[in-house]
Amino acid sequence: MIYTVTFNPAIDYVVRLDRPLEVGEVNRAAGEDCVLGGKGINVSGVLRELGCESVALGFVAGETGAWLERGLAAQGLRTDFIHLAEGMTRINVKIKAGTETELNGAGPSIPESAMQQLEAQLDTLQPDDILILAGSIPKSLSQSTYERLLAGLEGHGVRAVVDATQDLLVNVLPYHPFLIKPNDHELGEIVGRELKTDEEITAAARALQEKGARNVLVSMAGNGALLVDEHGEVHRIGCPKGKVVNSVGAGDSMVAGFVAGYLQSGSYEQALRLGTACGSATAFSLGLATKEKIEELFGQI
């Protein structure tokens, strides 16, 4: 089974204006949508499109949390959220008016008792289950939270996937995650230099393997992606052609596609192809990738 963790899920209230936003004035929307999300939830959503079942874990609170939970169930996602006694699941306001203005909520505080509940859930995972940790850590939790969770899983045989930046990523490497997915700029920040060529990116990825990562997938926006797999092989892929209209969730979609592709084929090359198709399908769409768009782009790669 695949499990995703979203520490601070959100309801994105997306408001579209047909003219520039006027601060201090009444602005009337031309249209509006509510999008249920968070990085782990995005991964679960794309996995569903690929026919892979997952369970979305994390924390919800208040009436907004109940709404998010019902909405995900209506979309066909399995969830097993921990319900917090105080606070409310955050609402992020996204104003699209030529340029985009965002007002992101803080979300509820997560007490130690809730973290212990999450650890108890993870303790039931079985060998070869996959656990996907994606995104930042809320301010109410220690920045060592990822390390804490992976340390608790040592010896369980669970394959961990971590999509995070800087110290959050580097500090989990001693726990030998199955996959990490920095982008080329994040990888450059970790090794302390700008990476301009495939050779430089490959060398930096190998440095993270030496610290413990099994597979290093480096996303490179319009330049495609590069994978250094656990056997030492380097796989390089370009992107299908299309117009980028949305960057939100593209990295999450790539993670979902890679994991699904590997589970379905056992091939890192196929995993990279499907991951790239999924990331591009989201980038070329207003929302997350759909099965139809993924299949269309997969055929072009």
- The residue assigned the tokens 């004035």 is 25
120 alpha carbon, distance to own chain's centre: 23
Bridge partners (DSSP) listed for residue 215: 179
Find all residues with CB under 8 Å of 210, minimum gap 6, and list them.
none
Is 229 among the catalytic positions?
no
Bridge partners (DSSP) listed for residue 91: 11
In angstroms, rounded to a whole number, what is the distance separating the alpha carbons of residues 21 and 94?
A: 12
Joined together, the tokens standing for residue 231 give: 């056997």
In angstroms, rounded to a whole number, what is the distance separating the alpha carbons of residues 99 and 18?
A: 11
Amino acid at 187: L
User: Of these residues, 12, 163, 184, 252, which one is catalytic?
Assistant: 252
Element (H, E) at 295: helix 291-298
| DSSP secondary structure letter of residue 214 | S
In angstroms, rounded to a whole number, what is the distance separating the alpha carbons of residues 293 and 282?
A: 9
From the list 140, 91, 132, the residue with the least C-alpha distance to 114 is 140
From the list 219, 217, 215, 212, the residue with the least C-alpha distance to 231 is 215
Task: Kindly give the residue spans of alpha helices, DSSP state H, lying in 75-165.
Answer: 112-122, 145-152
- What are the catalytic residues? 252
